[in-house]
Amino acid sequence: MIARDGARRPEKRRAITEAATRVFGREGFARASMDAIAAEAAVSKRTVYNHFADKETLFLTVALQSAAELTLRLERLAAAHLDETDEGGSVREALAAFAVERARALLRSGEHGAVARAIRAEVVNIPGDVLDAWLDAGPDAERRALAARFAVWARRGLIAADDPELAAERFTLLTYQGVAERSFRGALAVPGEEVERIVADGTDAFWRLHGAGAAVVAAL
């Protein structure tokens, strides 16, 4: 599944991928057609095929671009909130602030979020290699980055996390999944106060499991 780049004009390719992002987000993988994408991009179907060998190749390109965009946005939020902590109290506050901003990013994910929803909604129709590549570039990449931070914090005694990967999964489940479910993965708005309540409750639960004092309690 390699796109036929050749000497193709980059502006045409960009128009096609932008159109494909909108069409796949609206229609999903199975229902979307190369004809609809060509019409959305205001190019001929031949032009689409000159750039992309088939629908699967185009979907993979769009899925990876969307995943990379969201992952980069979340990494910037994580760096802004989590990379300057130095003691337990500030870690807890930083986690809560990051979780709120991460949930808000989901609600503002727009067309990129629509592609992610399309993937999750019809996962049985998504080619396995496309799904694996999307997971690696998106959700799994974010989890790995968060786990790496948790590993550093655990070594410094800022949190209790023998398994940083598990801690990262728990943090996401406790502070993010509630907003994801209520918003149908960003399709519907969620009141700001509800986002903050979900995050506060989730952060409290995470801290009871992994706060700096949890290791002391577990050792008793």
What is d(CA 114, CA 186) in angstroms, rounded to the nearest whole number?
8
| DSSP output for 115-175 | HHHHHHHTGGGS-HHHHHHHHHHTHHHHHHHHHHHHHHHHHHTSB--SSHHHHHHHHHHHH
- The whole-model pTM stands at 0.88
- Smallest CA-to-CA distance from 137 within 75, 70, 78, 68 is with 68
Structure tokens at 86: 């130095």
Q: Which residue has the higher pLDDT, 217 or 157?
A: 157
CB atoms within 10 A of CB 72: 11
DSSP letter at 96 equals: H
Burial (CB < 10 A; 0-12, 13-18, 19+), residue 211, is buried
CB atoms within 10 A of CB 203: 22
Structure tokens at 54: 């088939």
What is d(CA 112, CA 102) in angstroms, rounded to the nearest whole number?
15
At residue 211, the 3 state secondary structure works out as: strand
Kindly indicate the confidence band of residue 218, based on its pLDDT and cuts at 50, 70 and 90.
Answer: very low
What does the pLDDT read at residue 8? 61
What is d(CA 127, CA 146) in angstroms, rounded to the nearest whole number?
28
* Contact between 16 and 34 (Cβ < 8 Å): no
pLDDT in tens, 11-39: 999 999 999 999 999 999 999 999 999 99
Name all domains of the chain by residue range, CATH numbers in brackets: 67-219 (1.10.357.10)
Average pLDDT of the chain to the nearest whole number: 92
pLDDT in tens, 44-58: 999 999 999 999 999
Q: What are phi and psi of 159, to 5 degrees?
A: -140, 165
